Amino acid sequence: MSPSSTSAAGDIELAAISIQNPPDEAESTNPFDTPSASQTFDFPVSSSSSSDPRSSNTQPASSHQSVNEPEGEEQGAINPTEALPPVDSGRQAWLFLIAATYIELIIWGLPFSIGVLHVYWLNTLFKGQGESTITLAATLQTGLSYMTVAVSGPIFTTFPRYTKTLQLVGLMMASISMIASAFVTKPWHLIVTIGVFYPMASATYFPCATWLFEWFHARRGLASGVMYSGTGLGGFVFPFLMQGLLGRFGYKTAMISLGLGYAITGNIALLAIKRRIPLSRYEQNSMTPRRRPRVDWSFIRRSALYLAISTIGLTSMGNFIPNLWLPSFVDEMGMTKPNGTVLIAILNAASVPGNALLGYLSDKLPLKWTVLISCLGSALSCAFLWGFGTNSGVLVSFAVTFGLLGLSFTTLWTKMVGAVSRDDPVVTGLTYSIFAFMRGVGNMSSGPISDQLLKVGVLRGATGAYGFHNYGILLIYTAVTILSGGVTGLMLKE
């Protein structure tokens, strides 16, 4: 790893640490002072310490002694065996990564395969009633999940000691929402259970994403790729799991089983989700209020922020359409090989290598060109492959292409955040929260808009999918919104 890349990686780790552990009044105000693997947690590190968390450079104990405290008290507070676990290796680091990947799988796997349940709700459970309400519930699940991520950052920063409790509450709410959805009798019940309660599970996910920066440094790219692949793996597994449960046991048993499975396996995974750098004893024991980190609000005057917000908002309005409506499209066409479940599985499975592909391209090319490649490729696949996809071969090609380039778009957020925050630790977290909120807004708006567009028959009788059951105008909307996001992204500068 080159010195420049090492420095950048260290800055990212320090950003995550700073967000989770803002400096106290008694601590050093230098955001780049972090404890090394062999240092204790109670005392600030010299500003000359390396930012690499693997550093073992320490100073003699006497150099840390306060002139206002007796030597005996100082020595009594130090536990020389209380060292931080190693980064990039060791049992705890790999257990954290495995557990974080599983949390990613269960929390995001269902929202990214919600189209399977959407078809069942429309055609079986509530056939002929409340179509708009059912579609709203499906889009609320994903949209509010992203918006909950945006809210989670400030909450975990303000109440760090309750992180594990909040994670458990989020997991239990997701479990309860699925069990409660087994007993729904009206479409609007789905809005309350799946649409509103389930998104609280994002509180379970958020610490996994931020603490990853503490556990991995040199191998952070690998670790991030493994963890974020959990979404694609979940989106691949859940369609088959849901179809099997629905077909064999029925809807009520399927949702109860899924809810219980979430609670049991999620709690096991959370045992390995913990900080590498614990909260300081001063923070845990002192009655003095924590000093909030200062925010450099000059970032709101940067054009990169508004270009990134526009790009994320526009692409989000179109990127969720295939996951939501492709199973319905295939079902209405009467296609069984492959059916909608298989196509959604292929779509999500393709996003696993897609994340790696876009991440690799973003390291080699300017950000604006990577954004354009993603948006142009996914928009054209909607316009032509799905647009003229009246046979299985073309629709499979669409699922692979869109999964590679469309569903993997969030991989580019790292570069966008860097363009806005300029490595400011506090602004980095705030920017990520803004991006997550905008993605949630785009997703939630796509549901009601698409539902209304499917009632417009201006292209009825046109060639291919454009003339089938009013899907033509929906395909145009999807392609135009994603392509528009690519246009605004083309103006981004790193």
Here the CATH number for the domain that contains residue 211 is: 1.20.1250.20
User: Looking at the predicted structure, is the pLDDT value of residue 471 above 60?
Assistant: yes
In a domain, 140, yes or no: yes
User: How many structural domains are present in the chain?
Assistant: 3
- 333 and 227 in a single domain? The answer is no
pTM for the full predicted model: 0.67
pLDDT tens, residue by residue, 255-307: 999 999 999 999 999 999 988 877 764 354 444 555 555 767 788 888 888 99
User: Looking at the predicted structure, is the pLDDT value of residue 13 above 50?
Assistant: no
DSSP letters, 54-104, are T------GGGG--TTS-HHHHHHH--TT-PPPPSS-SHHHHHHHHHHHHHH
In a domain, 82, yes or no: no
Query: What is the mean pLDDT of the segment spanning 25-48?
Result: 39
Q: Which of 63-67, 93-97, 214-218 has the lowest mean pLDDT?
A: 63-67
- 249 and 316 in a single domain? The answer is no
User: Looking at the predicted structure, is the pLDDT value of residue 238 above 60?
Assistant: yes
Q: Which pLDDT score is estimated for 426? A: 67
Domain boundary among 279, 307, 325: 279
Domain boundary among 279, 313, 328: 279
Q: Which of 47-61, 174-188, 210-224, 307-321 has the lowest mean pLDDT?
A: 47-61
Q: What integer best gives the mean pLDDT of the chain?
A: 77
Q: Which pLDDT score is estimated for 292? A: 57
Q: Which pLDDT score is estimated for 263? A: 93
d(CA 22, CA 283): 10
User: Looking at the predicted structure, is the pLDDT value of residue 157 above 80?
Assistant: no
Q: Which pLDDT score is estimated for 456? A: 78
- 334 and 401 in a single domain? The answer is yes
- 209 and 250 in a single domain? The answer is yes
Q: Which pLDDT score is estimated for 286? A: 46
Domain limits at 26?
1-54
- 246 and 361 in a single domain? The answer is no
- 310 and 357 in a single domain? The answer is yes
d(CA 330, CA 395): 9
- 304 and 419 in a single domain? The answer is yes
- 206 and 245 in a single domain? The answer is yes
Query: What is the mean pLDDT of the segment spanning 96-121?
Result: 88
In a domain, 84, yes or no: no
d(CA 1, CA 309): 32
User: Looking at the predicted structure, is the pLDDT value of residue 414 above 70?
Assistant: yes
More confident residue, 300 or 15: 300
d(CA 65, CA 43): 9
In a domain, 83, yes or no: no
In a domain, 478, yes or no: yes
- 319 and 244 in a single domain? The answer is no
Which residues neighbour 431 within 8 Å (Cβ) at sequence distance 6 or greater? 299, 305, 417, 420, 421
Q: Which pLDDT score is estimated for 36? A: 40
Q: Which pLDDT score is estimated for 450? A: 86
- 114 and 259 in a single domain? The answer is yes
Q: Which pLDDT score is estimated for 242? A: 87
- 328 and 451 in a single domain? The answer is yes
User: Looking at the predicted structure, is the pLDDT value of residue 491 above 60?
Assistant: yes
pLDDT tens, residue by residue, 169-190: 999 999 999 999 999 999 999 9
- 234 and 315 in a single domain? The answer is no
Cα dihedral 121/188/477/358 (nearest 10):
-70
Query: What is the mean pLDDT of the segment spanning 467-471?
Result: 77
In a domain, 248, yes or no: yes
Give the Å distances, CA to CA, from 258 to 107, 132, 150. 12, 25, 26
In a domain, 291, yes or no: no
Which sign, positive or negative, has the C-alpha torsion 256, 331, 139, 358?
A: positive
Domain boundary among 279, 314, 331: 279
| 74: its two tokens | 């100082």
In a domain, 285, yes or no: no
Q: Which pLDDT score is estimated for 119? A: 85
Q: Which pLDDT score is estimated for 476? A: 92
Q: Which pLDDT score is estimated for 53? A: 40
- With beta carbons less than 8 A apart as the criterion, state whether 208 and 228 touch: no
The widest CA-to-CA distance across the chain, in whole angstroms, is 88
Share of the chain above pLDDT 90, in %: 22
